[in-house]
Structure 1
Amino acid sequence: MNWLTNFVRPKLRSLVGKDVPENLWQKCPGCEQMLFHRELVDNLHVCRHCGHHLRLDPFQRLELLMDPKYTLVPLPKSVDDPLKFKDLKKYSERLKDSRHKLKQDDALIIANGTMGGHPVVMAVFDFRFMGGSMGMTVGSGLIKAAELAIKNKAAYVVVPSSGGARMQEGILSLMQMPRTTIAVRLIKEATLPYITLLTDPTTGGVSASFAMLGDISIAEPGATIGFAGARVIKETIREQLPAGFQTAEYLLEHGMVDMVIPRSELRDKMISMLSIIFKKNAPKKR
Structure 2
Amino acid sequence: MTDESREIAKQEMKRLREEMRADVSRMRDEMRQEWFEAAAERGLGPRGPRGGARGGHQGRSAQPGRARRGGRQALSREAIVESAAKIMDKDGLAAVTMRKVAWDLDTGPASLYVHVRNVAELHGLLLDRQLGELDLEAGEGGWQDRVIAVIEGFVGLLFAHPDLARSALTARPQGPHTLALVERLLALLAEGGVPVGQRAWGVDILLLWATATAAEHADQEAESAPDSATSQALIAAMTGTGYPQIREVGLDLIAGSVEERSAWALRVLLNGIAATGRA
**Fold equivalence (TM over 0.5):** no
Length-normalised TM-score, structure 1: 0.26
Q: Which has the higher strand share?
A: 1
With normalisation by structure 2, the TM-score equals 0.26
* Larger helix share, 1 or 2: 2
